[in-house]
Structure 1
Protein backbone atom coordinates (compact mmCIF):
# COMPACT_ATOMS: atom_id res chain seq x y z
CA UNK A 1 0.00 0.00 0.00
CA UNK A 2 1.29 3.49 -0.82
CA UNK A 3 2.52 5.48 2.12
CA UNK A 4 1.21 8.99 2.49
CA UNK A 5 3.86 11.42 3.66
CA UNK A 6 2.56 14.37 5.69
CA UNK A 7 5.15 17.09 6.34
CA UNK A 8 6.06 17.94 9.90
CA UNK A 9 4.54 21.38 10.32
CA UNK A 10 4.17 23.56 13.36
CA UNK A 11 0.72 23.72 14.86
CA UNK A 12 0.66 27.47 14.29
CA UNK A 13 0.90 26.87 10.54
CA UNK A 14 -1.97 24.40 10.28
CA UNK A 15 -4.97 26.03 8.68
CA UNK A 16 -7.72 26.30 11.31
CA UNK A 17 -11.07 24.80 10.40
CA UNK A 18 -12.87 28.14 10.46
CA UNK A 19 -10.44 29.50 7.86
CA UNK A 20 -10.89 26.42 5.67
CA UNK A 21 -14.67 26.81 5.84
CA UNK A 22 -14.29 30.50 4.97
CA UNK A 23 -12.09 29.53 2.04
CA UNK A 24 -14.80 27.29 0.61
CA UNK A 25 -17.41 30.00 1.07
CA UNK A 26 -15.17 32.54 -0.65
CA UNK A 27 -14.76 30.19 -3.60
CA UNK A 28 -18.51 29.67 -3.85
CA UNK A 29 -19.02 33.42 -3.96
CA UNK A 30 -16.43 33.65 -6.72
CA UNK A 31 -18.23 30.99 -8.72
CA UNK A 32 -15.61 28.34 -7.97
CA UNK A 33 -17.36 26.33 -5.31
CA UNK A 34 -17.90 23.24 -7.42
CA UNK A 35 -14.22 23.21 -8.29
CA UNK A 36 -13.14 23.61 -4.67
CA UNK A 37 -15.35 20.68 -3.72
CA UNK A 38 -13.68 18.44 -6.28
CA UNK A 39 -15.89 18.78 -9.37
CA UNK A 40 -14.31 17.19 -12.39
CA UNK A 41 -13.15 14.09 -10.55
CA UNK A 42 -9.93 13.08 -8.86
CA UNK A 43 -6.88 11.81 -10.71
CA UNK A 44 -6.07 8.11 -10.39
CA UNK A 45 -3.25 7.43 -7.93
CA UNK A 46 -1.18 5.77 -10.66
CA UNK A 47 -0.81 9.11 -12.39
CA UNK A 48 -0.13 10.98 -9.18
CA UNK A 49 2.73 8.84 -7.94
CA UNK A 50 3.49 6.80 -4.87
CA UNK A 51 2.87 9.69 -2.51
CA UNK A 52 -0.79 10.33 -3.27
CA UNK A 53 -2.22 13.78 -2.54
CA UNK A 54 -3.57 14.61 0.84
CA UNK A 55 -7.24 15.50 0.42
CA UNK A 56 -8.63 18.97 0.97
CA UNK A 57 -9.47 18.89 4.66
CA UNK A 58 -8.93 20.98 7.79
CA UNK A 59 -5.23 20.94 8.64
CA UNK A 60 -4.19 20.00 5.09
CA UNK A 61 -0.73 21.57 4.60
CA UNK A 62 -1.25 21.89 0.84
CA UNK A 63 -4.37 24.08 0.98
CA UNK A 64 -3.45 27.75 1.05
CA UNK A 65 -5.60 30.70 2.02
CA UNK A 66 -7.07 32.44 -1.05
CA UNK A 67 -5.22 35.60 -2.02
CA UNK A 68 -7.72 37.81 -3.93
CA UNK A 69 -4.89 40.10 -5.03
CA UNK A 70 -3.54 37.35 -7.29
CA UNK A 71 -6.82 35.75 -8.35
CA UNK A 72 -8.24 36.15 -11.84
CA UNK A 73 -11.94 35.93 -12.56
CA UNK A 74 -11.55 33.50 -15.45
CA UNK A 75 -13.26 30.12 -15.18
CA UNK A 76 -10.73 27.59 -13.84
CA UNK A 77 -9.72 24.65 -15.98
CA UNK A 78 -11.28 21.35 -14.83
CA UNK A 79 -8.96 19.57 -12.42
CA UNK A 80 -8.79 16.40 -14.50
CA UNK A 81 -7.48 18.35 -17.52
CA UNK A 82 -4.63 20.08 -15.69
CA UNK A 83 -2.65 16.88 -15.13
CA UNK A 84 -3.81 14.87 -18.15
CA UNK A 85 -2.91 17.49 -20.79
CA UNK A 86 0.57 18.68 -20.04
CA UNK A 87 4.14 19.20 -21.23
CA UNK A 88 6.73 17.34 -19.14
CA UNK A 89 9.24 15.93 -21.61
CA UNK A 90 11.03 13.82 -19.01
CA UNK A 91 8.04 11.50 -19.40
CA UNK A 92 7.55 11.84 -23.16
CA UNK A 93 6.52 14.40 -25.76
CA UNK A 94 2.82 13.53 -25.84
CA UNK A 95 0.44 15.70 -23.86
CA UNK A 96 -0.84 12.64 -21.96
CA UNK A 97 2.58 11.08 -21.38
CA UNK A 98 3.14 12.73 -17.98
CA UNK A 99 -0.25 11.46 -16.80
CA UNK A 100 0.57 7.94 -18.01
CA UNK A 101 4.19 7.69 -16.82
CA UNK A 102 4.88 10.15 -13.99
CA UNK A 103 3.58 7.80 -11.30
CA UNK A 104 7.02 6.16 -11.09
CA UNK A 105 8.81 9.38 -10.13
CA UNK A 106 10.08 9.22 -6.55
CA UNK A 107 9.26 12.38 -4.61
CA UNK A 108 10.38 11.30 -1.12
CA UNK A 109 12.92 12.07 0.14
CA UNK A 110 13.36 15.35 -1.73
CA UNK A 111 15.51 18.40 -1.27
CA UNK A 112 16.26 21.64 -3.12
CA UNK A 113 19.62 23.38 -2.86
CA UNK A 114 19.97 27.14 -3.17
CA UNK A 115 23.52 28.04 -4.14
CA UNK A 116 25.79 30.21 -6.26
CA UNK A 117 25.94 33.96 -5.66
CA UNK A 118 24.47 33.81 -2.17
CA UNK A 119 25.88 34.54 1.28
CA UNK A 120 24.17 31.53 2.87
CA UNK A 121 23.96 28.54 0.53
CA UNK A 122 21.64 25.93 1.90
CA UNK A 123 19.83 22.70 1.12
CA UNK A 124 16.14 22.58 2.06
CA UNK A 125 14.20 19.36 2.35
CA UNK A 126 10.58 19.50 1.25
CA UNK A 127 9.31 19.75 4.82
CA UNK A 128 11.61 22.74 5.45
CA UNK A 129 10.17 24.43 2.39
CA UNK A 130 6.59 23.83 3.47
CA UNK A 131 7.33 25.31 6.89
CA UNK A 132 9.03 28.39 5.49
CA UNK A 133 5.85 30.42 4.90
CA UNK A 134 2.06 29.96 4.90
CA UNK A 135 0.71 28.82 1.56
CA UNK A 136 -1.58 31.02 -0.51
CA UNK A 137 -4.02 29.92 -3.16
CA UNK A 138 -3.56 31.95 -6.34
CA UNK A 139 -5.69 31.43 -9.43
CA UNK A 140 -3.31 32.07 -12.33
CA UNK A 141 -3.66 32.15 -16.09
CA UNK A 142 -1.05 29.85 -17.64
CA UNK A 143 -0.21 30.05 -21.35
CA UNK A 144 1.72 27.49 -23.39
CA UNK A 145 3.80 28.42 -26.42
CA UNK A 146 1.73 25.98 -28.52
CA UNK A 147 -1.18 28.45 -28.16
CA UNK A 148 -3.24 26.63 -25.54
CA UNK A 149 -3.95 27.91 -22.06
CA UNK A 150 -5.38 26.99 -18.68
CA UNK A 151 -6.52 28.75 -15.50
CA UNK A 152 -5.08 26.98 -12.46
CA UNK A 153 -5.47 27.48 -8.68
CA UNK A 154 -1.89 26.95 -7.45
CA UNK A 155 -0.97 26.63 -3.77
CA UNK A 156 2.36 28.15 -2.73
CA UNK A 157 4.19 31.34 -1.80
CA UNK A 158 6.40 33.86 -3.57
CA UNK A 159 9.78 32.46 -4.66
CA UNK A 160 11.40 35.55 -3.15
CA UNK A 161 10.61 34.15 0.31
CA UNK A 162 12.97 31.25 -0.34
CA UNK A 163 15.66 33.25 -2.12
CA UNK A 164 15.91 35.75 0.72
CA UNK A 165 16.82 32.89 3.07
CA UNK A 166 20.04 32.44 1.12
CA UNK A 167 20.83 36.19 0.98
CA UNK A 168 21.65 36.88 -2.69
CA UNK A 169 24.84 38.87 -3.18
CA UNK A 170 25.21 41.96 -5.36
CA UNK A 171 26.61 39.71 -8.11
CA UNK A 172 23.37 37.73 -8.37
CA UNK A 173 21.85 38.92 -11.65
CA UNK A 174 20.04 35.74 -12.69
CA UNK A 175 18.39 32.68 -11.17
CA UNK A 176 18.85 29.25 -12.75
CA UNK A 177 16.46 26.35 -12.10
CA UNK A 178 17.64 22.74 -12.39
CA UNK A 179 15.07 19.95 -12.50
CA UNK A 180 15.18 16.29 -11.46
CA UNK A 181 16.67 13.47 -13.51
CA UNK A 182 15.58 9.95 -12.53
CA UNK A 183 16.72 7.34 -15.08
CA UNK A 184 14.36 4.40 -15.09
CA UNK A 185 11.50 6.50 -13.73
CA UNK A 186 11.42 9.03 -16.55
CA UNK A 187 11.09 7.29 -19.94
CA UNK A 188 11.42 10.57 -21.84
CA UNK A 189 15.07 10.85 -20.84
CA UNK A 190 15.88 8.13 -23.36
CA UNK A 191 14.72 10.30 -26.24
CA UNK A 192 17.58 12.78 -25.72
CA UNK A 193 15.51 15.66 -27.07
CA UNK A 194 17.06 17.81 -24.37
CA UNK A 195 20.52 17.70 -22.84
CA UNK A 196 19.21 16.70 -19.41
CA UNK A 197 18.69 18.00 -16.78
CA UNK A 198 16.14 20.56 -17.89
CA UNK A 199 17.44 24.09 -17.21
CA UNK A 200 15.42 27.27 -17.00
CA UNK A 201 16.13 30.73 -15.67
CA UNK A 202 14.94 34.23 -14.85
CA UNK A 203 16.46 37.60 -14.31
CA UNK A 204 16.81 38.28 -10.58
CA UNK A 205 14.13 40.98 -10.58
CA UNK A 206 11.72 38.59 -12.32
CA UNK A 207 12.47 35.87 -9.77
CA UNK A 208 11.93 38.27 -6.87
CA UNK A 209 8.65 39.59 -8.25
CA UNK A 210 5.74 38.62 -5.94
CA UNK A 211 3.86 36.97 -8.83
CA UNK A 212 6.62 34.36 -9.26
CA UNK A 213 5.30 31.49 -7.19
CA UNK A 214 6.98 28.49 -5.57
CA UNK A 215 4.25 25.85 -5.91
CA UNK A 216 3.53 22.83 -3.69
CA UNK A 217 -0.12 22.14 -4.39
CA UNK A 218 -3.05 22.66 -6.73
CA UNK A 219 -6.81 22.55 -6.10
CA UNK A 220 -6.10 22.37 -2.38
CA UNK A 221 -4.16 19.10 -2.73
CA UNK A 222 -0.55 18.05 -2.97
CA UNK A 223 0.97 18.81 -6.36
CA UNK A 224 0.54 15.73 -8.61
CA UNK A 225 3.59 14.19 -10.25
CA UNK A 226 2.49 15.14 -13.80
CA UNK A 227 2.44 18.80 -12.71
CA UNK A 228 5.93 18.85 -11.21
CA UNK A 229 5.73 17.36 -7.72
CA UNK A 230 6.82 17.99 -5.11
CA UNK A 231 7.83 21.60 -5.90
CA UNK A 232 7.88 23.76 -9.02
CA UNK A 233 7.71 27.41 -10.02
CA UNK A 234 4.94 29.28 -11.78
CA UNK A 235 5.61 32.51 -13.70
CA UNK A 236 2.19 33.48 -15.08
CA UNK A 237 3.21 36.25 -17.50
CA UNK A 238 5.58 33.92 -19.38
CA UNK A 239 5.05 30.92 -21.62
CA UNK A 240 4.76 27.67 -19.70
CA UNK A 241 8.18 26.23 -20.53
CA UNK A 242 9.73 28.85 -18.23
CA UNK A 243 8.02 27.35 -15.17
CA UNK A 244 10.39 24.56 -14.18
CA UNK A 245 8.93 21.41 -12.59
CA UNK A 246 10.29 19.03 -9.94
CA UNK A 247 13.09 21.37 -8.88
CA UNK A 248 16.24 20.05 -7.22
CA UNK A 249 18.54 23.07 -7.49
CA UNK A 250 18.25 26.84 -7.65
CA UNK A 251 21.49 28.59 -8.55
CA UNK A 252 21.99 32.37 -8.49
CA UNK A 253 24.46 33.53 -11.13
CA UNK A 254 26.15 36.63 -12.46
CA UNK A 255 25.74 35.59 -16.10
CA UNK A 256 22.57 34.65 -17.97
CA UNK A 257 22.16 30.85 -17.84
CA UNK A 258 21.93 28.90 -21.08
CA UNK A 259 18.44 27.47 -20.75
CA UNK A 260 17.36 24.21 -22.36
CA UNK A 261 15.10 25.50 -25.14
CA UNK A 262 17.35 28.43 -25.97
CA UNK A 263 20.17 25.92 -26.39
CA UNK A 264 18.09 23.68 -28.65
CA UNK A 265 16.24 26.25 -30.78
CA UNK A 266 17.26 29.86 -30.09
CA UNK A 267 15.27 31.09 -33.08
CA UNK A 268 12.04 29.75 -31.62
CA UNK A 269 12.41 30.06 -27.84
CA UNK A 270 13.92 33.12 -26.21
CA UNK A 271 15.24 33.57 -22.68
CA UNK A 272 12.52 36.03 -21.68
CA UNK A 273 9.55 34.18 -23.21
CA UNK A 274 7.03 36.81 -22.17
CA UNK A 275 3.53 36.12 -23.51
CA UNK A 276 3.22 38.53 -26.44
CA UNK A 277 0.45 38.27 -29.06
CA UNK A 278 2.48 40.51 -31.40
CA UNK A 279 5.48 38.17 -31.63
CA UNK A 280 4.56 34.96 -33.50
CA UNK A 281 6.35 31.68 -33.10
CA UNK A 282 8.09 30.86 -36.42
CA UNK A 283 5.53 28.10 -37.06
CA UNK A 284 2.29 29.57 -35.68
CA UNK A 285 0.62 32.73 -34.47
CA UNK A 286 0.44 33.67 -30.80
CA UNK A 287 -2.41 36.16 -31.31
CA UNK A 288 -5.11 33.78 -30.05
CA UNK A 289 -5.28 30.75 -27.80
CA UNK A 290 -7.46 27.74 -27.04
CA UNK A 291 -8.62 27.30 -23.47
CA UNK A 292 -8.31 23.67 -22.42
CA UNK A 293 -11.57 22.40 -20.94
CA UNK A 294 -13.83 24.77 -22.89
CA UNK A 295 -14.72 22.13 -25.46
CA UNK A 296 -13.36 21.20 -28.87
CA UNK A 297 -15.51 23.72 -30.73
CA UNK A 298 -15.21 26.63 -28.31
CA UNK A 299 -14.05 29.84 -29.98
CA UNK A 300 -10.43 30.82 -29.55
CA UNK A 301 -9.77 33.81 -27.31
CA UNK A 302 -7.46 36.75 -27.82
CA UNK A 303 -4.06 36.40 -26.20
CA UNK A 304 -3.34 39.17 -23.70
CA UNK A 305 -0.03 40.99 -23.47
CA UNK A 306 1.99 39.51 -20.60
CA UNK A 307 -0.89 37.02 -20.33
CA UNK A 308 -3.03 39.72 -18.73
CA UNK A 309 -0.48 40.70 -16.07
CA UNK A 310 0.83 43.83 -17.79
CA UNK A 311 -0.17 46.14 -14.95
CA UNK A 312 2.01 44.16 -12.57
CA UNK A 313 5.07 43.34 -14.70
CA UNK A 314 5.38 45.65 -17.73
CA UNK A 315 7.69 47.98 -15.78
CA UNK A 316 10.28 45.18 -15.56
CA UNK A 317 10.88 45.58 -19.29
CA UNK A 318 10.74 49.36 -19.65
CA UNK A 319 12.78 50.46 -22.66
CA UNK A 320 13.36 46.90 -23.95
CA UNK A 321 12.57 45.89 -27.52
CA UNK A 322 10.20 43.00 -26.81
CA UNK A 323 10.42 41.74 -30.38
CA UNK A 324 14.18 41.37 -30.09
CA UNK A 325 14.16 40.10 -26.51
CA UNK A 326 11.44 37.51 -26.97
Structure 2
Protein backbone atom coordinates (compact mmCIF):
# COMPACT_ATOMS: atom_id res chain seq x y z
CA UNK A 1 0.00 0.00 0.00
CA UNK A 2 1.24 3.48 -0.88
CA UNK A 3 2.80 5.33 2.07
CA UNK A 4 3.43 2.11 4.00
CA UNK A 5 6.83 0.60 4.51
CA UNK A 6 7.49 -2.97 5.46
CA UNK A 7 9.65 -3.50 8.55
CA UNK A 8 12.79 -5.45 8.19
CA UNK A 9 13.59 -8.29 10.61
CA UNK A 10 15.77 -5.91 12.61
CA UNK A 11 12.98 -3.33 12.87
CA UNK A 12 10.50 -5.88 14.12
CA UNK A 13 12.98 -6.98 16.79
CA UNK A 14 13.42 -3.40 17.97
CA UNK A 15 9.65 -2.87 18.26
CA UNK A 16 9.25 -6.12 20.17
CA UNK A 17 11.96 -5.08 22.63
CA UNK A 18 10.35 -1.66 23.08
CA UNK A 19 6.95 -3.25 23.76
CA UNK A 20 8.44 -5.58 26.36
CA UNK A 21 10.21 -2.67 28.04
CA UNK A 22 6.94 -0.72 28.11
CA UNK A 23 5.17 -3.64 29.80
CA UNK A 24 7.91 -3.90 32.41
CA UNK A 25 7.78 -0.16 33.12
CA UNK A 26 4.00 -0.32 33.45
CA UNK A 27 4.31 -3.25 35.85
CA UNK A 28 6.85 -1.34 37.92
CA UNK A 29 4.49 1.63 38.14
CA UNK A 30 1.52 -0.51 39.13
CA UNK A 31 3.49 -2.41 41.75
CA UNK A 32 5.32 0.59 43.25
CA UNK A 33 5.52 0.27 47.06
CA UNK A 34 3.68 2.39 49.65
CA UNK A 35 0.60 3.01 47.52
CA UNK A 36 -2.52 3.57 49.61
CA UNK A 37 -4.10 0.26 48.68
CA UNK A 38 -6.43 -1.38 51.21
CA UNK A 39 -7.36 -4.73 49.65
CA UNK A 40 -9.76 -5.52 52.48
CA UNK A 41 -7.12 -5.08 55.19
CA UNK A 42 -8.87 -5.06 58.59
CA UNK A 43 -8.73 -6.42 62.10
CA UNK A 44 -11.40 -9.04 62.67
CA UNK A 45 -10.76 -10.35 66.19
CA UNK A 46 -8.82 -9.70 69.39
CA UNK A 47 -8.09 -11.07 72.84
CA UNK A 48 -6.09 -9.50 75.64
CA UNK A 49 -2.85 -10.79 74.08
CA UNK A 50 -3.67 -11.38 70.40
CA UNK A 51 -5.12 -9.71 67.30
CA UNK A 52 -6.24 -11.15 63.95
CA UNK A 53 -6.17 -9.38 60.57
CA UNK A 54 -7.41 -10.39 57.13
CA UNK A 55 -6.86 -9.05 53.62
CA UNK A 56 -7.62 -9.84 49.98
CA UNK A 57 -5.38 -11.04 47.17
CA UNK A 58 -4.35 -7.84 45.31
CA UNK A 59 -4.03 -9.82 42.07
CA UNK A 60 -7.28 -11.75 42.26
CA UNK A 61 -8.79 -11.98 38.78
CA UNK A 62 -5.62 -10.79 37.06
CA UNK A 63 -4.38 -12.76 34.05
CA UNK A 64 -1.00 -11.03 34.17
CA UNK A 65 0.06 -11.06 37.86
CA UNK A 66 0.10 -14.02 40.22
CA UNK A 67 0.64 -13.52 43.95
CA UNK A 68 3.30 -15.85 45.33
CA UNK A 69 3.36 -14.94 49.04
CA UNK A 70 2.91 -12.35 51.79
CA UNK A 71 5.05 -10.78 54.50
CA UNK A 72 3.47 -9.39 57.68
CA UNK A 73 5.50 -6.95 59.79
CA UNK A 74 4.60 -5.22 63.06
CA UNK A 75 5.86 -3.13 65.97
CA UNK A 76 4.62 -0.95 68.84
CA UNK A 77 5.71 2.37 67.33
CA UNK A 78 3.73 3.70 64.37
CA UNK A 79 5.60 3.32 61.10
CA UNK A 80 8.32 1.14 62.63
CA UNK A 81 8.39 -2.66 62.54
CA UNK A 82 10.44 -4.99 64.73
CA UNK A 83 9.00 -8.41 63.85
CA UNK A 84 7.98 -10.15 60.63
CA UNK A 85 6.64 -13.43 59.28
CA UNK A 86 6.41 -14.84 55.73
CA UNK A 87 3.19 -16.53 54.61
CA UNK A 88 2.14 -18.56 51.55
CA UNK A 89 -0.09 -17.04 48.87
CA UNK A 90 -3.01 -19.16 50.04
CA UNK A 91 -3.05 -17.54 53.49
CA UNK A 92 -4.79 -14.17 53.65
CA UNK A 93 -5.02 -13.80 57.42
CA UNK A 94 -2.69 -13.70 60.38
CA UNK A 95 -3.02 -13.78 64.17
CA UNK A 96 -0.49 -11.82 66.22
CA UNK A 97 0.19 -13.51 69.57
CA UNK A 98 2.10 -12.54 72.69
CA UNK A 99 0.85 -8.94 72.56
CA UNK A 100 0.70 -6.70 75.60
CA UNK A 101 -2.87 -6.30 76.91
CA UNK A 102 -4.67 -3.13 75.84
CA UNK A 103 -1.85 -2.10 73.51
CA UNK A 104 -1.96 -0.61 70.02
CA UNK A 105 0.49 -1.82 67.36
CA UNK A 106 1.42 -0.88 63.79
CA UNK A 107 1.09 -3.63 61.16
CA UNK A 108 2.13 -3.72 57.52
CA UNK A 109 1.47 -6.33 54.82
CA UNK A 110 3.51 -6.66 51.62
CA UNK A 111 3.32 -9.27 48.89
CA UNK A 112 5.44 -10.86 46.18
CA UNK A 113 4.21 -11.79 42.72
CA UNK A 114 5.37 -13.03 39.34
CA UNK A 115 4.59 -12.35 35.71
CA UNK A 116 5.84 -13.84 32.47
CA UNK A 117 8.56 -11.18 32.57
CA UNK A 118 9.87 -11.78 36.09
CA UNK A 119 9.24 -11.74 39.84
CA UNK A 120 8.59 -8.80 42.17
CA UNK A 121 9.14 -8.74 45.95
CA UNK A 122 8.05 -6.46 48.82
CA UNK A 123 5.12 -4.83 47.05
CA UNK A 124 3.01 -2.72 49.40
CA UNK A 125 -0.48 -4.06 50.12
CA UNK A 126 -1.76 -2.26 53.24
CA UNK A 127 -0.88 -1.03 56.73
CA UNK A 128 -2.65 0.28 59.80
CA UNK A 129 -3.26 -0.01 63.52
CA UNK A 130 -4.08 -3.25 65.27
CA UNK A 131 -4.70 -3.72 68.98
CA UNK A 132 -5.13 -6.31 71.68
CA UNK A 133 -8.24 -6.03 73.83
CA UNK A 134 -8.33 -3.61 76.73
CA UNK A 135 -8.36 -5.15 80.19
CA UNK A 136 -9.43 -4.03 83.64
CA UNK A 137 -7.26 -0.99 84.50
CA UNK A 138 -4.36 -1.43 86.91
CA UNK A 139 -2.04 0.92 88.74
CA UNK A 140 -4.80 3.32 89.79
CA UNK A 141 -3.43 5.48 92.61
CA UNK A 142 -3.28 9.00 93.98
CA UNK A 143 -0.45 11.24 92.78
CA UNK A 144 -1.23 14.53 94.53
CA UNK A 145 -3.81 16.07 96.82
CA UNK A 146 -3.94 19.87 96.59
CA UNK A 147 -4.95 20.93 100.10
CA UNK A 148 -6.02 24.55 99.55
CA UNK A 149 -7.28 24.02 95.98
CA UNK A 150 -9.23 21.01 97.29
CA UNK A 151 -8.56 18.85 94.29
CA UNK A 152 -6.93 15.45 93.89
CA UNK A 153 -5.01 13.87 91.03
CA UNK A 154 -4.70 10.17 90.28
CA UNK A 155 -2.91 8.08 87.69
CA UNK A 156 -3.22 4.64 86.05
CA UNK A 157 -1.33 2.30 83.75
CA UNK A 158 -2.48 3.76 80.44
CA UNK A 159 -3.70 1.38 77.72
CA UNK A 160 -3.01 2.71 74.21
CA UNK A 161 -5.71 0.50 72.68
CA UNK A 162 -8.47 2.31 74.59
CA UNK A 163 -10.65 4.84 72.79
CA UNK A 164 -12.49 5.99 75.91
CA UNK A 165 -12.01 5.97 79.68
CA UNK A 166 -14.55 6.34 82.48
CA UNK A 167 -13.98 6.88 86.19
CA UNK A 168 -16.14 7.39 89.26
CA UNK A 169 -15.18 8.86 92.63
CA UNK A 170 -17.21 8.08 95.77
CA UNK A 171 -16.87 8.84 99.44
CA UNK A 172 -15.38 5.85 101.22
CA UNK A 173 -18.16 3.48 102.23
CA UNK A 174 -20.66 4.91 99.73
CA UNK A 175 -21.61 3.78 96.22
CA UNK A 176 -22.92 7.21 95.22
CA UNK A 177 -20.53 8.99 92.86
CA UNK A 178 -19.52 12.52 93.83
CA UNK A 179 -17.57 12.83 90.56
CA UNK A 180 -17.93 10.85 87.34
CA UNK A 181 -16.58 11.37 83.84
CA UNK A 182 -16.35 9.53 80.53
CA UNK A 183 -13.86 10.93 78.05
CA UNK A 184 -11.86 10.08 74.94
CA UNK A 185 -8.97 12.10 76.38
CA UNK A 186 -6.61 9.28 77.32
CA UNK A 187 -4.38 11.07 79.79
CA UNK A 188 -2.21 9.21 82.27
CA UNK A 189 -3.42 11.62 84.98
CA UNK A 190 -6.87 12.87 85.92
CA UNK A 191 -7.91 15.63 88.31
CA UNK A 192 -11.05 15.73 90.47
CA UNK A 193 -12.07 19.14 91.91
CA UNK A 194 -14.17 20.09 94.94
CA UNK A 195 -13.07 17.30 97.25
CA UNK A 196 -13.11 17.76 101.02
CA UNK A 197 -9.94 17.67 103.07
CA UNK A 198 -9.62 14.95 105.73
CA UNK A 199 -12.29 12.89 103.95
CA UNK A 200 -11.38 9.60 102.28
CA UNK A 201 -12.63 8.79 98.77
CA UNK A 202 -12.46 5.80 96.44
CA UNK A 203 -11.89 5.83 92.69
CA UNK A 204 -12.56 3.16 90.07
CA UNK A 205 -11.86 3.15 86.33
CA UNK A 206 -12.82 1.20 83.23
CA UNK A 207 -11.77 1.53 79.59
CA UNK A 208 -13.42 0.97 76.22
CA UNK A 209 -12.29 -0.26 72.80
CA UNK A 210 -14.08 -1.30 69.59
CA UNK A 211 -15.08 -4.57 71.25
CA UNK A 212 -16.69 -3.02 74.35
CA UNK A 213 -15.96 -2.03 77.96
CA UNK A 214 -13.49 -3.62 80.35
CA UNK A 215 -14.43 -4.43 83.93
CA UNK A 216 -14.15 -1.82 86.68
CA UNK A 217 -10.79 -1.61 88.43
CA UNK A 218 -10.52 -2.44 92.09
CA UNK A 219 -11.03 0.53 94.39
CA UNK A 220 -8.10 2.86 94.97
CA UNK A 221 -8.17 5.28 97.90
CA UNK A 222 -7.74 9.06 97.75
CA UNK A 223 -7.07 11.23 100.80
CA UNK A 224 -5.18 14.32 101.89
CA UNK A 225 -1.86 14.41 103.69
CA UNK A 226 -2.50 15.02 107.42
CA UNK A 227 -1.87 18.60 108.50
CA UNK A 228 0.62 19.03 111.31
CA UNK A 229 -0.81 20.88 114.32
CA UNK A 230 1.39 23.97 114.56
CA UNK A 231 0.58 24.74 118.20
CA UNK A 232 1.36 21.26 119.48
CA UNK A 233 4.39 20.33 117.37
CA UNK A 234 7.61 21.42 119.09
CA UNK A 235 10.99 20.46 120.54
CA UNK A 236 11.05 20.43 124.33
CA UNK A 237 13.43 18.71 126.72
CA UNK A 238 15.47 17.20 123.84
CA UNK A 239 12.35 15.49 122.49
CA UNK A 240 10.30 16.26 119.40
CA UNK A 241 6.53 15.98 119.71
CA UNK A 242 4.58 15.84 116.45
CA UNK A 243 0.79 16.22 116.39
CA UNK A 244 -1.51 16.05 113.34
CA UNK A 245 -5.13 15.98 112.24
CA UNK A 246 -6.74 12.58 111.69
CA UNK A 247 -7.98 11.25 108.36
CA UNK A 248 -11.16 9.22 108.70
CA UNK A 249 -10.58 5.76 107.25
CA UNK A 250 -6.78 5.75 107.60
CA UNK A 251 -5.27 2.62 109.14
CA UNK A 252 -1.96 4.16 110.28
CA UNK A 253 0.28 7.24 110.15
CA UNK A 254 4.00 7.48 109.39
CA UNK A 255 6.20 10.34 110.63
CA UNK A 256 9.32 11.50 108.76
CA UNK A 257 11.97 13.93 110.06
CA UNK A 258 15.07 15.58 108.54
CA UNK A 259 17.50 18.40 109.29
CA UNK A 260 17.21 19.53 105.64
CA UNK A 261 14.08 20.69 103.86
CA UNK A 262 14.55 18.87 100.54
CA UNK A 263 16.28 15.61 101.48
CA UNK A 264 17.53 13.29 104.20
CA UNK A 265 14.14 12.37 105.68
CA UNK A 266 14.09 9.38 108.02
CA UNK A 267 11.03 7.36 108.94
CA UNK A 268 10.99 7.61 112.73
CA UNK A 269 7.59 6.21 113.64
CA UNK A 270 4.49 4.45 112.32
CA UNK A 271 1.50 4.52 114.67
CA UNK A 272 -2.05 3.18 114.64
CA UNK A 273 -4.94 5.23 113.31
CA UNK A 274 -6.22 5.79 116.85
CA UNK A 275 -3.25 8.07 117.55
CA UNK A 276 -2.73 11.63 116.36
CA UNK A 277 0.61 12.42 118.01
CA UNK A 278 3.98 10.87 118.76
CA UNK A 279 7.01 11.90 120.84
CA UNK A 280 10.39 11.18 119.27
CA UNK A 281 13.66 10.95 121.20
CA UNK A 282 16.43 10.77 118.59
CA UNK A 283 17.27 11.41 114.94
CA UNK A 284 20.24 9.46 113.53
CA UNK A 285 21.28 8.54 117.06
CA UNK A 286 21.29 12.13 118.34
CA UNK A 287 18.87 13.81 120.72
CA UNK A 288 16.76 16.68 119.44
CA UNK A 289 17.90 20.21 120.19
CA UNK A 290 15.55 23.21 120.56
CA UNK A 291 18.25 25.33 118.87
CA UNK A 292 18.22 23.39 115.59
CA UNK A 293 15.84 23.41 112.64
CA UNK A 294 13.93 20.22 111.90
CA UNK A 295 11.61 19.40 109.03
CA UNK A 296 8.67 17.11 109.66
CA UNK A 297 5.88 15.58 107.61
CA UNK A 298 3.22 12.96 108.27
CA UNK A 299 1.79 10.49 105.76
CA UNK A 300 -1.56 8.76 106.20
CA UNK A 301 -1.83 5.11 105.14
CA UNK A 302 -4.75 2.92 104.12
CA UNK A 303 -4.02 -0.81 104.02
CA UNK A 304 -6.45 -2.99 102.07
CA UNK A 305 -5.41 -6.63 101.88
CA UNK A 306 -1.80 -6.65 100.72
CA UNK A 307 -1.99 -3.16 99.17
CA UNK A 308 -1.15 0.01 101.09
CA UNK A 309 -2.34 3.38 99.75
CA UNK A 310 -0.70 6.57 101.02
CA UNK A 311 -1.52 10.26 100.99
CA UNK A 312 1.99 11.04 99.77
CA UNK A 313 3.94 14.17 100.65
CA UNK A 314 2.81 17.64 99.62
CA UNK A 315 4.30 19.75 102.39
CA UNK A 316 6.68 19.60 105.33
CA UNK A 317 6.67 21.50 108.61
CA UNK A 318 9.72 23.42 109.83
CA UNK A 319 10.09 23.45 113.60
CA UNK A 320 12.68 25.02 115.91
CA UNK A 321 12.00 24.85 119.60
CA UNK A 322 8.36 25.78 120.13
CA UNK A 323 8.01 27.68 116.84
CA UNK A 324 7.10 26.25 113.46
CA UNK A 325 6.39 27.14 109.84
CA UNK A 326 4.54 25.33 107.06
CA UNK A 327 6.72 24.55 104.01
CA UNK A 328 4.97 23.60 100.77
CA UNK A 329 6.71 21.35 98.27
CA UNK A 330 5.65 20.84 94.67
CA UNK A 331 7.66 17.80 93.63
Q: TM-score, normalised by structure 2?
A: 0.20
* Structure number with bigger Rg: 2
